[in-house]
Structure 1
Amino acid sequence: MTKPVRTATADLFVGYGHFSVTDYDADIPELGPAYANGLVGVDSGGAAVLTGTATGKVTVTLQVLHAEPGSIELDGWDEVSEVSLDSEEGFILVHNTMVGPPRELDEIAYVGPGTYRVRVHARGRDIAPHSHAETPQEHYLISVWPAPEAPATVHKQTDRFGHEVRTQWKKP
């Protein structure tokens, strides 16, 4: 596996069942692209990550990498998907759109403006979906590295929450 440039973990407050991975001054990302795979999607505003928790805290571990990891960690995770994110400013951070980011989860785009690959791992979204969590019950691992634009890729889809989201999205 590629050695991380930086690794950090923090509890992140989420609202409205999602959090964002965006440039500092980017618009709030639309949720529609994330509904398609049930976890993460990108639009011109950045990436939106869907959480089972409606409001409250989740734990996020961030790995900033030089290059794509040598393997994809699937064991212990319910959902794993990745997307490409274009950073015009070169200042990407993980945050809730209502509350600023934990200090540990900012400055992801360490090589400046350009395209980055964002791989999101999720577990625990089925514990108490659509609820408020004072104590984090969900965990996310977000790996980010500079990479050319590529299609969204799903590596694993096994939680009930993601299935519910994908099923609702496909209804006419």
Structure 2
Amino acid sequence: MGKSLVIHVNGGLFCVSDGEDLRVESTRWSNGLLAPMDHGAWIKTGIHTGVVTVRTEIRPKAPPGGPGRWEEIVEASVHSPTGAMAVDPGHVVGEVPYLTSRGPGWYRLRVHAHGRGLRPDGVDVEPVERYLIQAWPQDWSAPQVLQSSTRIEASLAATSGEATGRPVHHVARTAPAGKARLLAHLRHR
């Protein structure tokens, strides 16, 4: 099951979030593409402002890997305290699917990227960069780079002394309307 989205990017980032309280200070920036927080994660784009295409897929377990047409692939564990983790609706045109299949808990996100080096820090009015975000339930494990690039290698070198361990997660709140949507999502899984 997957869905393609057009994401509005500002400041070279878009977010996968769970709850309204984004704890930015908990961000682990190590690989320069996927940066987990206490709950949720940032995805670093190549462009500064504009639109990118993102496809999301919910998986029951880790999918088989391989670079295929992707230039960069990284994985990290992300905590979903409410079970309502999704691409941040503030940056999306249209309905946003949840990335969670079992409610609250730990999930693994695998982020594939193509085109981040085409217009570094530029502006795109038409999507040139593409992303695939795959999510499945899995206990926390260390981040992995499955397909590297010079951009990822530079980020790893620049953040080599920073914390990369399991983040401490805090309780996130879900608004009543969000709870109803989450319950409907979980009933249909």
Class of the TM-score when normalised by the shorter of the 2 chains:
0.7 to 0.9
CA contact (8 A) 2:17 2:86 kept: yes
Work out whether residues 83 and 151 of structure 1, in 8 Å CA contact, stay in contact via their aligned partners in 2. Answer: yes
Pick the aligned partner of 1:109 from 91, 100, 107. 100
- Report the CA distance between 1:33 and its aligned residue: 2.0
The question of whether the paired residues in 1 share the 8 Å contact of 2:39 and 2:79 is answered with: no
Report the CA distance between 1:28 and its aligned residue. Answer: 5.0
Answering whether residue 82 of structure 2 is matched by residue 89 of structure 1, we say yes
Shift of 1:105: 3.3
For the pair 1:25 / 2:25, whether they are aligned, the reply is no
Which structure shows the bigger proportion of residues in strand conformation? Answer: 1
- What code does the residue aligned with 2:87 have? V
* Number of residue pairs aligned between Structure 1 and Structure 2: 161
Structure-to-structure mapping, 1:47-86, within 5 angstroms:
47-69=41-63, 71-86=64-79
* Alignment TM-score, normalising by the size of structure 2: 0.76
The match for 2:130 is: 139
Unaligned runs of 5+ in 1: 1-5
SS of the residue aligned with 1:155?
strand
Secondary structure at the counterpart of residue 42 of structure 2: strand
For residue 92 of structure 2, give the secondary structure of its aligned residue in structure 1.
Answer: coil
Larger radius of gyration: 2
> Does the Cα contact within 8 Å between 1:8 and 1:104 map onto a contact in 2?
no
Paired AA for residue 10 in structure 1 = L
2: CA distance, partners of 1:9 / 1:53: 19
Correspondence for 1:3: none
- Contact map agreement 1:31 1:48 (CA 8 A) in 2: no
Deviations 1:104-163 (A, max 9, x none): 4332213211111000000101110101110111000000011111111111112x4434
Aligned to 1:46: 40
SS of 1:105's equivalent in the other structure is: coil
Q: Which runs of 5+ in 2 are unaligned?
A: 162-189
Alpha carbons of structure 1 residues 170 and 88: separation in structure 2 relative to 1, 3 Å: closer
Deviation at 1:101, TM superposition (A): 3.4
CA distance in structure 1 between the partners assigned to 2:68 and 2:129 by the alignment: 16
Distance 1:134 1:68 in 2: 34
